[in-house]
Structure 1
Amino acid sequence: MVWYELESLVDLDELVETSSGIPSIIFKHSTRCGISKFVLKNFERGIGEFDPSEARFYFLDLIKHRDISNQIEKRFSIIHESPQVIMIHKGETIFDASHQGIQAHQITERLKTI
């Protein structure tokens, strides 16, 4: 799968802009957490490959970029969790899940309805 790295607040603004056309999915990952690593691997295996013209997947390293996570929390009124998946479409949160609640099939099913 193709990941777009979220490394700045400008990247977050671009993500929101992209979401006006196609859904943007953020995976918030802590590189220090074994659960987060396990959930990420299962997510990648379950999602498979997506055409970037259908959905864009963004990876956020929480250890390096906690400021971006804080801005996501404020901007989308979502409580910070890790690991966490957030789907944004047309600038709004349409799905979020955390920890073992992150299931790739939920994302793929939701994408089929958009």
Structure 2
Amino acid sequence: MGLFDGLFGNKDKGEKIEKKDLAWIPLTSLDQLEEIKEKSGAKTQIIFKHSTTCGISRMVINTLKSSYNLTEDQADLYYLDLLSNREVSNETGYKFQVLHQSPQLLVIKNGVAVAHASHGEINNIDLSSFI
């Protein structure tokens, strides 16, 4: 009873643990990249490049969701499905001078990538230090 409650949840308690939903902005067009660059002068812009078929990418996004602690006033958070938006993904690398990887997180301030990481290193970035 008690041992498995921690693993599978106790249905008798009626409790449901929900993952925090983030205020993702879908990044789907090349025009948005120029907007991100412009907006980064006043507010930090964050781009998460995600491969929907990659297990590592799935693990990283789940960890990011559970640890992300910035508000919408502090930063804009973009989600780029790189398989559906390959051209946008490629241009992101060119525009911000970051070699493509997946998953990948870019922090944009004043028109440039001030930080970026890929794979498990994404969760080591202290995003609050860029606010």
TM-score, reference length from structure 1: 0.90
Once residues 80 and 90 of structure 2 are traced to their aligned partners in structure 1, the CA distance between those partners, rounded to angstroms, is 12
2:73 to 42, 48, 53: 53
Task: Return structure 1 stretches of 4+ with deviation > 3 angstroms.
Answer: none
Task: After superposition, give the CA deviation of every residue in 1:6-37 in whole Å (9 maximum; x if it has no partner).
Answer: 01011111111111100100000000101101
Task: Verify the 8 A CA contact 1:46 1:105 in the aligned structure 2.
Answer: no
Structure 1 vs Structure 2 CA RMSD:
1.3
Larger radius of gyration: 2
Task: Verify the 8 A CA contact 1:43 1:104 in the aligned structure 2.
Answer: no
Q: 1:54 Cα shift?
A: 1.1
Task: Verify the 8 A CA contact 1:30 1:83 in the aligned structure 2.
Answer: yes
* Structure with more contact order per residue of length (Cα contacts < 8 Å, sep ≥ 6): 1
TM-score, reference length from structure 2: 0.79
Q: Does 1:103 align with 2:123?
A: yes
Give the secondary structure class of the aligned counterpart of 1:82. coil
Correspondence 1:13-92 to 2 at 5 A: 13-48=34-69, 50-92=70-112
Q: 1:106 Cα shift?
A: 1.7
Query: Percent of pairs identical after alignment?
Result: 36
Q: 1:105 Cα shift?
A: 5.5
Give the secondary structure class of the aligned counterpart of 2:71. coil
Give the secondary structure class of the aligned counterpart of 1:7. coil
> Please, which runs of 5 or more residues in structure 1 have no aligned partner?
none
Once residues 71 and 96 of structure 2 are traced to their aligned partners in structure 1, the CA distance between those partners, rounded to angstroms, is 25
Once residues 88 and 110 of structure 2 are traced to their aligned partners in structure 1, the CA distance between those partners, rounded to angstroms, is 19
Give the secondary structure class of the aligned counterpart of 2:60. helix
Task: Verify the 8 A CA contact 1:25 1:86 in the aligned structure 2.
Answer: yes
Residue-pair matches, total = 110
Q: 1:51 Cα shift?
A: 2.5
In the other structure, the counterpart of 2:17 is none
Q: 1:69 Cα shift?
A: 1.1
In the other structure, the counterpart of 1:93 is 113
